[in-house]
Amino acid sequence: MFAVALVISAGVIVWMTSSTGLTTCCFNLRPVVALQLNGTTAAGANILVAGIEPTANPSNFKVNIENVSSGTFGGASAMPTTSGGSVSVTVGTGLAETVFSITWQNPRGSGTVSQGDHFAVSKTSGAYETGTSFSFLLIWNDGSTDASQGWVV
């Protein structure tokens, strides 16, 4: 009798989560994210969230920068959890060190990472040669890269 009740309960949970969207809020599914380069400057880039399904809490992400030209990664930082908040990422060491500020903008005010959001990436110190390739990395809480977008300075 207990086994039958357990099977029925599991079936109801599966049915409810698939028909009501509870998987998004309750089971913290890893989203599929599409990023798009939305412009560059001599100091950085603007990265647009062109699509994301399902939307996700910013506390589930880390951000990082890779100097693709040298194969050097920065230290991943927890993503800002409020719109307009920023974090710093340092790529390289010594004379080759470059520090970037990454600011998350959530223009719709949803409080979740959603389509239309963007990341402003700006060099705050250090130097690099013209023609250097960088990549912005959006990392899921399990440590895997969810999406990346490159640019050349």
Strands (E), 17-91: 32-41, 44-53, 61-67, 72-73, 77-78, 86-91
Q: What is the pLDDT at residue 130?
A: 85
Cβ(148)–Cβ(138) under 8 Å?
Answer: yes
Query: What structural domains and CATH numbers belong to the chain?
Result: 1-29 (no CATH), 31-152 (2.60.40)
Q: Name, in order, each residue with C-beta under 8 angstroms of 112's C-beta and a sequence gap of 6 or more.
A: 55, 56, 57, 58, 106
H or E stretch covering 75: none
pLDDT at 23 over 60: no
Q: What is the pLDDT at residue 92?
A: 86
In the 8-state DSSP scheme, what is residue 26?
H
Mean per-residue pLDDT for 21-30? 57
pLDDT at 95 over 80: no
pLDDT at 66 over 80: yes
Q: What is the pLDDT at residue 28?
A: 64
H or E stretch covering 20: helix 2-20
| pTM value > 0.85 | no
pLDDT at 90 over 50: yes
pLDDT at 12 over 90: no
